[in-house]
Structure 1
Amino acid sequence: MSAGLVPVADDGGAPGGASASVLVLGGGLAGFSLVRELRRRGFAGALTIADPEGLPYDRPPLSKDYLTGETDGPRLLLAPPSWFAEHGVEVVTARAEALEPGGADVRHRVRLNTGEAREADVVVLATGGRVRPLAVPGADDARLITLRTRADADALVARLHFGARVAVIGGGFTGAEAASSARAAFADVTLVTSTETPSLTAVGPAITARLHRMHAENGVELEVGRVARIEHADEAVDDPGGGLPTAHRVHLEDGRTVDADVVVLATGTVPETALAEKAGIETADGVLVDAAGRTSVPGILAVGDVARLRDSAWPASRHWEPAMQAGVAAAAALMGEEPAAPGAPWFWSDRHGAHVEAVGDMALPDGGRHVHREVRGRTVASFALAADGTMRGAASVDDPMAVKAARRIIDRAIRVDPEALADPAVPVRSLARG
């Protein structure tokens, strides 16, 4: 069996035969997009999604609309429950514990935590990521909250109320969104970040500075420093007579402390590669894949946050649209069709009523420069240009059309005039014509 298109039907052809089977491990956007696209392209074989949370649902709202009550559980679902029955997709509420790769005449085998074993012609790893560990004493306490699952978000919602003291550790996009949402619930919020410039390579220095200022402007206390340890109420530390007089106390390396009723860990994510590693699949900061999601083992694919594209022109982008595109590309390849070129990676974020978008890479290549577009003294958009004048990245606050146009400029390798790019009177879309 070659590492190219995987022959999974009885006749050795593309996986459109009725006897073919695809098992997707993970019910996030990437895995669901693959399943939906296979059915859209006419795949007639067996399709199964195995996920410990059951029906696939959208994750980005967990740190935004879901916390504020603007989105509820049913609206998180990527498709209504009836869709799966109508399209012949089985959803198994279970977690994969082991993957045993097959061979030329042997199907791949997956052992689930229910004790059941499943076999399939094609297995797709869509296991996403897990919270990056905070390697300090007390950071592994079960009472601390992360925001990877709906259960995590429910736990935070239950503790958000007027005057609740919330400490968010991590100033990246998830941490900023969680801090904004908690502040909207009238909690007293402190954001602990190790740097003044979180997300610098994602949106560039000017937009980063503007976003960072938004926290203080909206009543979020900022503490810049590294966490040394986290103490909890059942630890007798300060008071010889009885224990810590607060639920949690975050200690920074310079001696400052933050008291909180609830602590949210937003320390980033790492790909969940344990299954792949134990199965002998090649990994390096993710499961290594080609543009069609194919791994080093024939018949096993990886899509979404768990995967990392070999030889990509862009840094790893673990966001909503790249995950969706990865699922679609893998489905196309499984059907023997050429995946569409994804173009520059794009993402969005929301905080304090502002909408942020970015595309490409805002880190400057050698000889490159940033160009900033300002309105009334505030940066509304930033662009990263290479030395030859082509655009590498763009970011905006409340100006999505600028990023949309910039994406066309990046994908078409159009050289732009920096002065026109900086002029707010010049629509960015006019520069996309070349």
Structure 2
Amino acid sequence: MSTPQSIVIIGGGLAGAKTAEALRVNGYEGSITLIAAEDYLPYERPPLSKEYMAGKVGFDKAIVHPAEWYKENNVTLRQGVRATAIDAGSRQVTVDDGGNTETINYDKLVLATGSAVRKLPIPGADASNVHYLRTVEDSDAIKATFGEGKKLVLIGGGWIGLEVASAARGAGTDVTVLEGGKLPLLKVLGETVAQVFADLHVANGVDLRTEVKITDIVTEDGRAVGVRLDDGEVVPADAVVIGIGVTPVIDLAETAGLEIDNGVLVDAALRTSDPDIYAVGDIANHDHPVLGHRIRVEHWATALNQPAAAVKSLLGKDAEFTNLPYFFTDQFDLGCEYVGHATGSQEKVFIRGNLETREFVAFWVDTENRILAAMNVNVWDVPDQIKPLIASGKSVDTEKLVDPEVPYSEL
């Protein structure tokens, strides 16, 4: 395999920046062009609903690399430039730079286009003070709605909704969370652990409404003033945040003729159906060699770690991405980490520790007592001990599993 002379990366987030970094770390000396649709330097998104939104850190802490890094490493960073099409046959990317169209040639292409928020198709959702969270501007706009005596209504009790609720309550905001399910995070965590998060928010003053149906957002003079439920009640709001999930941005992959199914299909090495194109981050539907099935993960750790494996493969080295899925969240006084993959509602859940004090490790176990996933809540230094248990695919003794006195190495 000859070394590519020109590599183009589409996507100005964490995955795109880490791809450029991995290329230089692995000794690649050719041309690197990073196309970033936003005007900002590539940045990480978790702080937008966590420390940055809570006012604990500045935006500079979210920046992956300073501007000097791109110059020093001879990476051409095209900020505020949007890729509009890929011609895989001629290996060209068409971009729009402020109304000027041009094409960029590549030998290898890496797609790191990320996700876009799901929009809620109800009347009033286009009001000026109805917000979604994806960019730093979104985070700033939401943060500006916080404060004593202000009413914020969050539609959706997923990770983003609950993290925004935590930040808003920390600023003294009156917060209502409207969730269609029986509990927030129910589909992800199952009833036992989801109840912990529900109780946490209620204990911290969040008005948590579950099993609700929303008909519209009530507006006056183009601004939202409340959210109407199907029983006619209007929940008052000075602002509304909608957090009902994201969808992978795959339009460019489609123009390139790549195989698509819940994202961009990639093999264990993150190679798409076109051998000259790789995909990393939110869009990559990955044939995971450890889990034994395909998985698409919309979390920070995937964007952080997949590029290293993709770059090694791209440069002709043997490489597979074997990391287990991982994410973390911080809400009020609860911090937790999750490793592995489970559906939450379809496996048995075993608890090591105390649910009431919110200091425990939850394990999702299949019918053959194999650990599929684990979440440590206010208990630390756990994931590295549990990862080998998940990766081994071996059955465990569930009585030992819930006994804090039994080391993980003896399970």
Q: Which amino acid aligns with 1:222?
A: L
Percent identity, aligned pairs only, is: 34
Q: Which residue of 1 aligns with 2:203?
A: 217
Q: What is the CA–CA distance in structure 2 between the aligned matches of 1:202 and 1:129, rounded to whole Å?
A: 19
Q: Which residue of 1 aligns with 2:12?
A: 27
Q: Which residue of 2 aligns with 1:343?
A: 323
**Distance apart, 1:331 and its partner CA:** 0.6
- 1:162 maps to 2:148: yes
Q: Which residue of 1 aligns with 2:117?
A: 131
1:257-272 to structure 2, matched below 5 A, reads 257-272=234-249
Q: 2:3 aligns with which of 6, 10, 14?
A: 14
Secondary structure of the 2:29 match is coil
Q: What is the CA–CA distance in structure 2 between the aligned matches of 1:288 and 1:341, rounded to whole Å?
A: 14
How much is the aligned-residue C-alpha RMSD, in angstroms? 2.1
- 8 Å contact from structure 2 (residues 263, 296) kept in 1: no
Alpha-carbon displacement from aligned partner over 1:284-327 (angstroms, at most 9, x marks no partner): 22111112222223322221112212475364221011222221
1:309-324 to structure 2, matched below 5 A, reads 309-310=286-287, 313=293, 315-324=295-304
Alpha-carbon displacement from aligned partner over 1:264-297 (angstroms, at most 9, x marks no partner): 1111100011222233222122111112222223
Q: What is the CA–CA distance in structure 2 between the aligned matches of 1:196 and 1:400, rounded to whole Å?
A: 29
Q: What is the CA–CA distance in structure 2 between the aligned matches of 1:358 and 1:255, rounded to whole Å?
A: 39
- 1:91 maps to 2:77: yes
Secondary structure of the 2:226 match is strand
CA 1:135 to 1:376, structure 2 compared with 1: closer, same or farther past 3 Å?
closer
Alpha-carbon displacement from aligned partner over 1:81-115 (angstroms, at most 9, x marks no partner): 21111111111113434223243xx3322222432
- 1:409 maps to 2:392: no
CA 1:415 to 1:248, structure 2 compared with 1: closer, same or farther past 3 Å?
same
Secondary structure of the 1:64 match is coil
Q: What is the CA–CA distance in structure 2 between the aligned matches of 1:116 and 1:286, rounded to whole Å?
A: 27
CA 1:315 to 1:292, structure 2 compared with 1: closer, same or farther past 3 Å?
closer
Greater displacement, 290-299 / 186-195: 290-299
- 1:107 maps to 2:91: yes
- 8 Å contact from structure 1 (residues 230, 251) kept in 2: yes
Q: Which residue of 1 aligns with 2:61?
A: 75
Secondary structure of the 1:27 match is coil
CA 1:392 to 1:357, structure 2 compared with 1: closer, same or farther past 3 Å?
same
- 1:329 maps to 2:309: yes
Q: 1:228 aligns with which of 215, 237, 248?
A: 215
- 8 Å contact from structure 1 (residues 383, 393) kept in 2: yes
Alpha-carbon displacement from aligned partner over 1:112-171 (angstroms, at most 9, x marks no partner): 243232222222221111111212122233431111000111111222222211111110
CA 1:186 to 1:279, structure 2 compared with 1: closer, same or farther past 3 Å?
same
- 8 Å contact from structure 1 (residues 325, 342) kept in 2: no
Gaps of 5+ in 1: 1-6, 8-12, 236-245
Q: Which residue of 1 aligns with 2:126?
A: 140
Greater displacement, 393-402 / 72-81: 393-402
Q: 2:254 aligns with which of 277, 280, 286?
A: 277
Q: What is the CA–CA distance in structure 1 between the aligned matches of 2:101 and 2:31, rounded to whole Å?
A: 17
Q: Which amino acid aligns with 2:332?
A: H
Q: 2:30 aligns with which of 26, 30, 45?
A: 45
Q: What is the CA–CA distance in structure 2 between the aligned matches of 1:97 and 1:279, rounded to whole Å?
A: 12
Larger Rg: 1
- 8 Å contact from structure 1 (residues 374, 381) kept in 2: yes
Q: Which residue of 2 aligns with 1:193?
A: 179
- 8 Å contact from structure 2 (residues 41, 67) kept in 1: yes
Q: What is the CA–CA distance in structure 2 between the aligned matches of 1:364 and 1:348, rounded to whole Å?
A: 16
Q: Which amino acid aligns with 2:253?
A: A
Gaps of 5+ in 2: none
Q: What is the CA–CA distance in structure 1 between the aligned matches of 2:117 and 2:221, rounded to whole Å?
A: 25
Q: 1:356 aligns with which of 333, 336, 341?
A: 336
Greater displacement, 416-425 / 64-73: 416-425
Q: Which amino acid aligns with 1:289?
A: V
Q: What is the CA–CA distance in structure 2 between the aligned matches of 1:357 and 1:310, rounded to whole Å?
A: 23
CA 1:141 to 1:275, structure 2 compared with 1: closer, same or farther past 3 Å?
farther
CA 1:88 to 1:405, structure 2 compared with 1: closer, same or farther past 3 Å?
same
Write 1 or 2 for the structure with the bigger share of strand: 2
Q: What is the CA–CA distance in structure 2 between the aligned matches of 1:79 and 1:176, rounded to whole Å?
A: 29
- 8 Å contact from structure 2 (residues 301, 326) kept in 1: yes
CA 1:102 to 1:344, structure 2 compared with 1: closer, same or farther past 3 Å?
closer
- 8 Å contact from structure 1 (residues 365, 387) kept in 2: no
- 8 Å contact from structure 1 (residues 207, 396) kept in 2: no
- 8 Å contact from structure 2 (residues 87, 255) kept in 1: no
Q: What is the CA–CA distance in structure 2 between the aligned matches of 1:248 and 1:292, rounded to whole Å?
A: 49
CA 1:151 to 1:345, structure 2 compared with 1: closer, same or farther past 3 Å?
same
Q: 2:405 aligns with which of 417, 421, 425?
A: 425
Q: Which amino acid aligns with 2:91?
A: R
TM-score (norm 1): 0.87
CA 1:322 to 1:154, structure 2 compared with 1: closer, same or farther past 3 Å?
same
Q: What is the CA–CA distance in structure 2 between the aligned matches of 1:376 and 1:170, rounded to whole Å?
A: 24
**Distance apart, 1:179 and its partner CA:** 0.4
CA 1:253 to 1:310, structure 2 compared with 1: closer, same or farther past 3 Å?
farther
CA 1:267 to 1:365, structure 2 compared with 1: closer, same or farther past 3 Å?
closer
TM-score (norm 2): 0.92
CA 1:394 to 1:207, structure 2 compared with 1: closer, same or farther past 3 Å?
same
Q: What is the CA–CA distance in structure 2 between the aligned matches of 1:377 and 1:191, rounded to whole Å?
A: 22
- 8 Å contact from structure 1 (residues 314, 360) kept in 2: no
- 8 Å contact from structure 1 (residues 286, 308) kept in 2: yes
Greater displacement, 246-255 / 352-361: 246-255
Q: Which amino acid aligns with 2:392?
A: R
**Distance apart, 1:392 and its partner CA:** 0.9
- 1:372 maps to 2:351: yes
Q: What is the CA–CA distance in structure 2 between the aligned matches of 1:142 and 1:331, rounded to whole Å?
A: 42
- 8 Å contact from structure 2 (residues 270, 321) kept in 1: no
